[in-house]
Amino acid sequence: MEQRSSAWKQQAALFFTSQCITLFGSSVVQFAIVWYVTLKTASGGWVAALTVCSFLPQTLVSFVSGALADRCSKKRLIIGADAAIAAATLALALLLPSLGDGTPVLTALLIASVIRSIGAGIQLPAVGAILPQFVPEEHLMRVNGVNATLQSVVQFAAPAAAGAILSLGSLRSTLWIDIATAAVGIGVLACLALPKQAPASEVQPPLASDLKEGLRYVGSNRFFGGLLLLYGLFILLSVPGGFLSGLLVTRIYGGSYLNLTLVELIGFAGMAAGGILIGSWGGFRNRVKTLLVGIAACGLLTVGMGAIRQFVVYLALILLMGIAITMAQTAVTTLIQERAEPSMQGRMFGLIGTMYSGFLLIGMSVFGPLADVVSLPLLMMLTGGTLAVVALRYRFGKTFYQAPAANE
């Protein structure tokens, strides 16, 4: 028994190590690109355009890649996606010196973001669905909490690295870091030994049949239908307070790499604290309660962030927001891993990815340009209050809140 326990823990450690290495490089580049565009343009329109290019492709491919993850090797999908992202980053690094400044560079960043988004859309459903292959079900919530902590620690370091590199070097320098970490992460992941799965049928139905089956599965399950809708609303209403935070800081507290770095560092410190909390506590016995408490807290904190004008208080609220976000995200992941059929988990995570990127895209398309003509703090207070109300509505909906787990 001890040997079996040690085996899955070793595999989890190996997987998390590979993901943390690649995540660090990707995060450094992502922060560098967003900050470069934000500080060069100070335009909600350009930030919205970057967000569209970063998430629309992911929206389009996530569900399809989730179906692929249910029928193909998840490990190979992750490695292939990482390699494709690294190749796109390498091409950008080689082309950047010849592009000069201004619109040509911004356009190249948008194109690179499209390719990186496709890779993320292929990878993320496989990442979410691979853990139950070697982690026992009773440990999933805590392991997801540990994973959230590790990722937050990496992302805590990433903005500091991005800020330092951009201040002392250039955008191109961050690209080389991403390429190097991708190579190392792929090498580590290649060493992961997964349990043997039942061989797939030699004659498989068309991929479209798998997609239809996934949609029927969600359509016939009121709990998963409600979960997807709630998650989409969570992402949509979080756009002003979360994804436009760089604009808020630039306009109210002064635009500088230092201020932007502080916001990201404090946010990821909160997410790391949230991961430690979930990893040690395990959340409420009712996973839905953990989800709704996290979402309601995000809404109320967003209202506070829009109302105050002291940067120190804003940073404190960002810290608490990080904890609340981790509670919500970890609960969503665990609910799918525990309640969805194993053969459907790739498609479920694909749909979650589609909801995330799709509703983020809608939110940025609406709130990004709107933030150029309407008070951003006012938008934050309105959307944050609405998010808290949505969480309360779900709390008192018996079909969703009291739906029993598969093992109950």
Transcribe 122-167 into DSSP letters. HHHHHHHHHGGGTS-GGGHHHHHHHHHHHHHHHHHHHHHHHHHHHH
Tell me the residue ranges of DSSP E strands in 314-368: none
DSSP-derived letter for residue 403 is P
pLDDT attached to residue 82: 92
Residue 216 structure tokens: 């029927």
- Tell me the average pLDDT of the chain: 85
Confidence of residue 407 (pLDDT cuts 50, 70, 90): very low
Of the given ranges (227-236, 250-259, 367-376, 389-398), which has the lowest mean pLDDT? Answer: 250-259
Check if the beta carbon of residue 261 is closer than 8 Å to that of residue 160: yes
pLDDT tens per residue across span 4-43: 567 788 888 888 899 899 989 998 898 888 878 877 776 6
pLDDT attached to residue 406: 46
Burial 380-406 (b: 16+ CB within 10 A, else e): bbbbbbbbbebbeebeeeeebbebeee
pLDDT attached to residue 203: 56
Average pLDDT in the 369-389 region?
A: 92
Nearest to 146 by CA among 262, 16, 243, 299: 16
DSSP-derived letter for residue 195 is P
pLDDT attached to residue 183: 94
Positive or negative: CA dihedral 228, 232, 235, 237: negative
pLDDT attached to residue 42: 66
Residue 116 structure tokens: 């990186």
Average pLDDT in the 315-336 region?
A: 94
Q: Is the pLDDT of residue 126 over 90?
A: no
The CA distance from 354 to 341, in Å, is 19
Confidence of residue 291 (pLDDT cuts 50, 70, 90): very high
The CA distance from 290 to 285, in Å, is 8
Is the model more confident about 181 or about 51?
181
To 5 degrees, how large is the angle CA 330–CA 377–CA 296?
A: 30
Average pLDDT in the 305-310 region?
A: 92
pLDDT attached to residue 408: 43
pLDDT tens per residue across span 77-90: 999 999 999 999 99
Is the model more confident about 331 or about 203?
331
- Helices 222-238 and 207-219: crossing angle, nearest 10°? 90
Distances from the Cα of 66 to the Cα of 19, 123, 148, 331, 349, angstroms: 18, 9, 21, 19, 6
Q: Tell whether pTM > 0.95.
A: no
Percent of the chain with pLDDT over 70: 92
CATH number assigned to the domain covering 2-193+207-401? 1.20.1250.20
Q: Is 114 left (phi over 0), alpha (psi -120 to 50) or beta?
A: alpha
Of the given ranges (88-102, 148-162, 229-243), which has the lowest mean pLDDT? Answer: 148-162
- Other C-beta atoms closer than 10 Å to the C-beta of 143 total 23
Confidence of residue 371 (pLDDT cuts 50, 70, 90): confident
